[in-house]
């Protein structure tokens, strides 16, 4: 297999092995009092994001979780419990624990319910940011099921027609198994760009293109990422919903779908919604998630599903290409190829991120020992 990365790494960077990076992140969590099993899940979610090329949700976010634990907002020894556990549905109270751990437990419960009832739907309340939504949808795929994952977030996005933060980036992921890898995986936030990308660009000196951010004066911002991110953190700007700031290109659809996710993850679950959702370092953040598992075998033979899905994939791949397109990609294909590459040659980390990780290591009393490749 040729080396493949869906985006060129941002220079200057080094490459480190995925296993050593996960081990380091796990040690950081453990040093802060997180149980080893929970630390392993949280570390795996972040490193999986980096392997897939979703650096905005990778280890560059470690500082966010460390800050949440140090402030007391994230409970390192939560008593997570199912306050609803009836037939195909459930509600998990995460007791302010790590979002990654809560979402993993909820998806495993959804899979268990789907085996019995054909579908399992588990909502989560009193949680925190959980990283990439696709991670949990793929847990359903590992059980030959379809997985759907949704989450709300702290307010970051302007509702269509407004200029202030109200909605979260509110991600949704869908994953389905295939006879041969990669699985089908769609994973996307309902803002034009995730806040993690603004944060990453501000650390690495890249510019923000027009169409990502709107100022409170109604002007679409572009240029210096650090300046724009600073304005954003001061409440002087907001992310734009998928489709942009007008209805002409579908901004009402992006903000409408984000609202729908807030109803599932916030209103229905008992979690917060809109600007009631708090940041990871604030106590009682009350982020909500929705985890759904669907047992394909309850609807048709798994082999028949595989054949039908492959026919659809083949039809899409055979479509006439646009002049500017080399490949027609199926959702999740580029991330899977990037993962295979990075497992072999390492995960690229910008040097500014490396310095930040070293600072975190010193702060919590562990060694930054990620192996350079």
What is the tens place of the pLDDT at every residue in 134-189? 999 999 999 999 999 999 999 999 999 999 999 999 999 999 999 999 999 999 99
3-state secondary structure the chain: CCCCCCCCCCCCEEEECHHHHHHHHHHHHHHCCCCHHHHHHHHHHHHHHHHCCCHHHCHHHHHHHHHHHHCCCCCCCCCCEEEEEECCEEEEECCCCCHHHHHHHHHHHHHHHHHHHCEEEEEEEEECCCCCCHHHHHHHHCCCEEEEEEECCCCCEECCCCCCEEECCCCEEEEECCCCCCCEEEEECCECCCHHHHHHHHHHCCEEEEEEEEECCCCEEEEEHHHHHHHHHCCCEEECECCCCCCCCCHHHHHHHHHHHHHHHHHHCCCCCHHHCCCCCCCCCCEEEEEEEEEHHHCCCHHHHHHHHHHHHHHHHCCCCCCCCCCCCCCCHHHHHHHHHHHHHCEEEEHHHHHHHHHHHHHHCCCCCCCEC
pLDDT digits over 196-205, tens only? 888 889 988 8
pLDDT digits over 151-160, tens only? 999 999 999 9
Q: Does residue 10 surpass a pLDDT of 90? A: no
The confidence score (pLDDT) of residue 3 equals: 87
Ranges of each domain in the chain: 11-70+346-373, 77-192+248-299, 193-239
Cα distance between the two ends of the chain? 19
Percent of the chain scored above 90 by pLDDT? 93
Mean pLDDT of 250-267: 97
pLDDT digits over 300-348, tens only? 999 999 999 999 999 999 999 999 999 999 999 999 999 999 999 999 9
Mean pLDDT of 203-232: 93
Q: Does residue 1 surpass a pLDDT of 60? A: no
Q: Does residue 216 surpass a pLDDT of 90? A: yes
The confidence score (pLDDT) of residue 123 equals: 99
Global pTM?
0.95
Asked whether this chain's domains 11-70+346-373 and 77-192+248-299 adopt the same fold, the reply is: no
Topology (CATH level 3) of domain 77-192+248-299? Ribosomal Protein S8; Chain: A, domain 1 (3.30.1370)
HSE-CB of 44 using CA atoms within 13 angstroms: 14
CATH number 3.50.50.60 given to 11-70+346-373: no
Neighbouring residues of 219: CB distance < 8 A, sequence distance ≥ 6: none
The confidence score (pLDDT) of residue 205 equals: 87
Pairing of strands 145-151, 172-176: antiparallel
Q: How far apart, in Å, are the Cα atoms of 247 and each of 159, 256, 320?
A: 11, 11, 29
What is the residue-averaged pLDDT of the chain? 96
pLDDT digits over 275-310, tens only? 999 998 889 999 999 999 999 999 999 999 999 999
> Which of 2, 78, 7 shows the shortest CA–CA distance to 347?
7
What pLDDT band is residue 8 in, cutting at 50, 70 and 90? confident
pLDDT digits over 73-98, tens only? 999 999 999 999 999 999 999 999 99
Q: Does residue 192 surpass a pLDDT of 80? A: yes
């Amino acid at each position: 297999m040729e080396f493949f990365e869906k985006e060129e790494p941002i220079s200057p960077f080094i490459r480190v092995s995925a296993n050593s990076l996960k081990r380091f992140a796990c040690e950081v969590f453990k040093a802060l009092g997180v149980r080893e099993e929970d630390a392993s899940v949280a570390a795996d979610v972040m490193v999986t994001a980096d392997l897939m090329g979703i650096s905005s949700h990778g280890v560059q976010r470690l500082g966010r979780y460390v800050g949440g634990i140090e402030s007391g907002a994230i409970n390192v020894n939560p008593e997570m419990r199912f306050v609803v556990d009836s037939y195909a549905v459930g509600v998990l109270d995460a007791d302010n624990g790590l979002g990654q751990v809560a979402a993993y437990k909820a998806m495993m419960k959804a899979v268990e319910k789907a085996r019995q009832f054909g579908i399992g739907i588990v909502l989560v309340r009193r949680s925190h940011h959980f990283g990439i939504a696709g991670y949990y949808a793929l847990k359903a795929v590992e059980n030959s099921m379809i997985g759907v994952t949704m989450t709300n977030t702290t307010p970051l996005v302007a509702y269509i027609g407004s200029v202030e933060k109200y909605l979260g980036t509110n991600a949704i992921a869908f994953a389905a198994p295939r006879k041969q890898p990669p699985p089908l995986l769609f994973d996307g936030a309902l803002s034009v760009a995730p806040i993690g990308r603004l944060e990453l660009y501000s650390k690495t000196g890249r510019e923000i293109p027009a169409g990502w951010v709107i100022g409170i004066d109604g002007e679409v911002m572009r240029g210096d990422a650090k300046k724009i991110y600073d304005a954003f953190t001061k409440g002087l700007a907001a992310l734009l919903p998928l489709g942009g700031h007008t209805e002409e290109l579908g901004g009402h659809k992006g903000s409408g779908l984000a609202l729908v996710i807030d109803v599932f993850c916030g209103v229905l679950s008992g979690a917060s919604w809109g600007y009631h959702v708090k940041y990871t370092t604030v106590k009682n953040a009350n982020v909500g998630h929705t985890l759904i598992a669907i047992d394909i075998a309850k609807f048709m033979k798994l082999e028949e599903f595989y054949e039908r899905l492959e026919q659809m994939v083949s039809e899409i791949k055979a479509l006439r290409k646009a002049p500017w397109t080399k490949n027609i990609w199926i959702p999740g294909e580029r991330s899977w190829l990037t993962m295979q590459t990075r497992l072999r040659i390492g995960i690229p980390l910008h040097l500014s991120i490396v310095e930040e990780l070293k600072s975190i290591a010193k702060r919590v009393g562990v060694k930054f020992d990620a192996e350079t490749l």
